[in-house]
Chains A and B, each alone.
Chain A
Amino acid sequence: MAKHHVETTINGEPVEYLCETSQTLLDVLRDELGLTGSKEGCASGDCGACSVTIDGRLVCSCLVMGVEASGHKIETIEGMADGENLHPLQQKFLEQAALQCGICTPGVLVAAKSLLERNPDPTETEVRYWLAGNLCRCTGYDKIIRTVMDVAAEMRSS
């Protein structure tokens, strides 16, 4: 079967690719475009390690087909830092050891950024609620929650 030709925007840059009907957006990002920052924990929509945004909407890229990206704006972990300058969330995750193996981390960061863009002053319950689709097997979540709260406070005051 012929492949599909897709034109889209990823992290602000125009991108075109060919993909099979059966390929997910996560397959395309990782296997066709070499953007391996988004992780495949489960490939079934349960872990959130593959989280990206499409036109600002947070999704699991393993549940989106590659062809569906056509004409939309995709943001992945690779677009989060501004060159050498880490996003405040990235910086604080690092400083406060809110990560271990790092597989969930890109998805958690993308999701947390998306939360703070919508709600710069979340309660702890709101942080837990928003991140509930992202699982982490290593950290025990405690530091993730505290770090997101700290970054929110920091970003509000700056």
Chain B
Amino acid sequence: MAGGSTTTVGHSYPRMEGRAKVTGRAEYIYNMRLPSMLHAKVHRSPISHGRILSIDTSEASAMPGVHHVITGEDVKKVLPEPYYGPAFHDQPILALDKVRHFGEPVAVVLATDPHIAETAAQRIVVDYEELPAVFDEVEALTSDVIVHEELKPAGTFADLKHLAGKRDTNIALDYHLQHGDADKAFADAEHVFEHTFRTQQTMHTPFEPMVALADVRNDHATVYSSTQGPSFVRFELARLLGWPESNVRIKTAHLGGGFGAKVYVKVEALAMALSLIAHRPVRVALTMEEQFYTITKHPSTFRIQSAVDKDGKVIGRKCEVWWNGGAYADIGPRVTQKSGFTAAGPYDIDNVAIDSYALYTNRPPAGALRGFGIPQLVWAYESHTDIIARELGIDPIAFRKQNILRNGRPQAVGTIVKDGEFEAVLDGVAERMNWNRPFDKGSGTKLRGRGVGLGFKASISPTTSSAIVSVNADGSCIVYCSTVDMGQGSDTAMAQIASEVLDIPIEKIRVVNPDTDVTPYDMSTLGSRSTFHMGHAVRLAAGDARDKLHAMAEEVGMPEGSNAPLPELFIRKFGMRAGAIVGSANYIPEFSPPNYDTGQSTNATPFWMIGATGAEVEVDTETGQLTILRLVNVCDIGTPINPIVVETQISGAAVMQLGFTLTENMVIENGQLTNPSLADYKIPGFFDMPDTMENGYIDAVQENGPFGAKGAGESGTFGVSPAIANAIDDAVGVRISEMPITAEAVFRALREKQGKPLEEN
């Protein structure tokens, strides 16, 4: 099925909704209003950990224009078990008894005017008994501060069952992998290396902040939400309500960015509960600031050790990773396994031991963010790999190639690699950077260096996508699927696939916005899974429709080869322009679950995503100021469905990771988040762009992918951070082991190297 000559797939198309977007007319949930709707404004905790002693809502309730003031206890009256979460049912819709992080929702004001709701929300008075808090993932391991007295796994996952009822621990989930005999490798090694790397807490900042409008009537709830996962939101709200899923309807439009922030339940449960109580439609629209309290990216600490033989072959690696999941689990604990098993890097290492822990702390919750833990891991293993190469006096690219994972070899999880073009991706970067030519290292106080980073990710597995493809009597076609287009261009890709299979021009194809009453189940739009999983479902559903059309043609005496236009076929069959031919399909890839004790699986993922970055930097040794002269990002994305959109995905991913590398940092001081705004939390702008940037992909085919394609949304993030740290080391001989890499961090490291360290703040 891969490659070959295609007419639509593999060609560049402008995005289908592009015209609506450039004229300002695209639909977003943020634009939506409902008749007789109330606006909700959330009162949030000003402390990181404490017991709620009392909530005084009298002044807020007395304000003219205020309809309701609602607390956690009010929610409990209508929803007796108001806790949600995909892996653990630990998050209350509004705080009950305790608050566990700064900015946690405690109460809500409903008013017809959002400004009145906002003023009233500030007049709610909450009395707390403040408790000690823990913010650091390593401290949380042994701290006396316990964030959740008891673990509450969701129960739907077999591998979480053993955690139910576990008390007095901050470890939400642990994962262990054994491949070969790591201890023996370290005993046999010629060289042993050990380093520790850390990453900071950051946030997605989607430019359409999270928003949900709920309209609950009698026994039916409709929620309009900017969600990446309408099927999961339906499942979870139905569970909270104790209703069948058919009584809960979730609708989305185009999303103004997601990046993982809008997967699983975010503001939907709150909006639903409020509408249930108020008997009116309710709009919960977060501000940019409030998003920082809602979901973030895990801070992490990673201790990595390597055993290397006399020839420079890495024979063993031990990885210990601690993930800071914040106060509520969301999907965060899943990084321990889903990302954890790649912690030893894209290398062919016979002996690997991985221990990976998700910790509860009193930070805002951490969940999925573009790469789901992978960028944190690559930061560590590619910095570490570079240090080893330098210390052994081997060229960093040559050292990587000597150890690189190749097709046909087992990855540490025990799965044989197939269609993973690690070496070609690395070569792609090296070539574009002219790695083998002399490099101008600068002079005086402006010194230059270059570095690379190579990372990879497994696809989340096993997950299901379903699709329906309906061919209309005029020969046009509608694709029904719950993949959410949040800017990645999935609508266009799905239309291309349907067009290709059915031979219907793409202009005649429409892809319906997800609506759980209309579009069938999809696990979620996350983890770069849609092109592969939904791509297959749409391909198969379109194939089903095509087969039915062929049968119908046969039946009416217009067999294959007669080339009758579709409208004629329908007229022959139905006597007039009427009827519809509907194809459908479910797709789930093959998978074998990992052994609980060893973490080993013979088939852990349907495909591997691979990305590498090369960076050339200039360091001002007088100030630590860093200039990114050049950033080269190359990925293995199989064969792209829509090349021009994929290029933008790669550059967008790389620049997002550039922000996480250089400037973005959620700063917590005295238990308070000090910078929850785009003014103080600095994401990259036009002036932070590298002087030049190249984004590309290698020629590749994912044999089991739809038309040779696989996911492409995250691969551009993988190599960015270590490439920059490695380039800094190359330029000035200092090693930064903690992100973000600010000018101050570089300057401190330079002074340290000169034996003149700066004082701590």
Q: Is the CB of B14 within 8 A of A139?
A: no
Q: Is the CB of B208 within 8 A of A78?
A: no
Complex interface: chain A residues within 8 A of B726 (CB): none
Complex interface: chain A residues within 8 A of B684 (CB): 141
Q: With the chains together, A25 CA to B645 CA distance in Å?
A: 34
Q: With the chains together, A143 CA to B14 CA distance in Å?
A: 14
Q: With the chains together, A102 CA to B655 CA distance in Å?
A: 17
Q: Is the CB of B255 within 8 A of A101?
A: yes
Q: Is B31 in the interface zone, CB < 8 Å from A?
A: yes
Q: Is the CB of A137 within 8 A of B651?
A: no
Q: With the chains together, A43 CA to B689 CA distance in Å?
A: 24
Q: Is the CB of B25 within 8 A of A37?
A: yes
Q: With the chains together, A138 CA to B654 CA distance in Å?
A: 10
Partner of A137, one of B14, B17, B26, B683: B683
Q: Is the CB of A42 within 8 A of B678?
A: yes
Q: Is the CB of B689 within 8 A of A100?
A: no
Q: Is B157 in the interface zone, CB < 8 Å from A?
A: no
Q: Is the CB of B256 within 8 A of A103?
A: yes
Q: Is the CB of A101 within 8 A of B648?
A: no
Q: With the chains together, A58 CA to B668 CA distance in Å?
A: 35
Q: With the chains together, A131 CA to B487 CA distance in Å?
A: 21
Which interface residue of B17, B22, B30, B648 has the most chain A CB atoms within 10 A? B22
Partner of B14, one of A95, A100, A144: A95
Q: Is the CB of A128 within 8 A of B255?
A: no
Complex interface: chain A residues within 8 A of B683 (CB): 135, 137
A91 → chain B closest CB, angstroms: 8
Q: Is A77 in the interface zone, CB < 8 Å from B?
A: yes
Q: With the chains together, A38 CA to B207 CA distance in Å?
A: 12
Contacts known (A97-B648, A135-B678); A38 close to B256, Cβ less than 8 A? no
Complex interface: chain A residues within 8 A of B648 (CB): 97-98, 100, 138-140, 143
Q: Is B653 in the interface zone, CB < 8 Å from A?
A: yes
A86 → chain B closest CB, angstroms: 7
Q: Is A81 in the interface zone, CB < 8 Å from B?
A: yes
Q: With the chains together, A115 CA to B693 CA distance in Å?
A: 23
Question: Interface residues of B toward A: which range?
Answer: 35 or more
Within 8 A of A (CB), among B637-666: 644-645, 647-656
Q: Is the CB of B23 within 8 A of A137?
A: no
Within 8 A of A (CB), among B476-512: 486-489
Q: Is the CB of B24 within 8 A of A137?
A: no
Q: Is the CB of B651 within 8 A of A102?
A: no
Which chain B residue shows the least CB distance to A144? B686
Which interface residue of A37, A100, A131 has the most chain B CB atoms within 10 A? A100
Q: Is the CB of B207 within 8 A of A47?
A: yes
Q: Is the CB of A109 within 8 A of B22?
A: yes
Q: With the chains together, A47 CA to B84 CA distance in Å?
A: 32
Q: With the chains together, A142 CA to B649 CA distance in Å?
A: 11
Q: Is the CB of A101 within 8 A of B678?
A: no
Q: Is B444 in the interface zone, CB < 8 Å from A?
A: no
Partner of A101, one of B22, B208, B650, B677: B208
Of the A-B pairs whose beta carbons lie under 8 Å apart in the complex, a sample of 24, sorted by A's number, is A35-B24, A36-B31, A41-B208, A42-B287, A46-B677, A80-B23, A96-B644, A97-B14, A100-B257, A101-B207, A101-B254, A101-B256, A101-B487, A103-B208, A129-B686, A132-B687, A135-B683, A137-B259, A138-B207, A138-B648, A139-B648, A140-B653, A140-B655, A141-B684
User: What is A's interface to B at a CB cutoff of 8 Å?
Assistant: 20, 22, 30-31, 35-47, 49, 76-78, 80-81, 86, 90, 93-106, 109, 127-129, 131-132, 134-145
User: What is B's interface to A at a CB cutoff of 8 Å?
Assistant: 12, 14-15, 17-26, 28, 30-31, 33, 115, 204-209, 254-257, 259, 287-288, 486-489, 644-645, 647-656, 677-679, 683-687, 689, 693, 695
Q: A44-B677, A106-B24 are in contact. List 9 more A-B contacts (CB 8 A).
A: A36-B28, A40-B30, A86-B23, A95-B14, A100-B489, A101-B208, A101-B487, A129-B687, A141-B655
Which 4 A/B pairs are nearest by Cβ-Cβ distance?
Answer: A37-B24, A101-B487, A102-B21, A140-B651
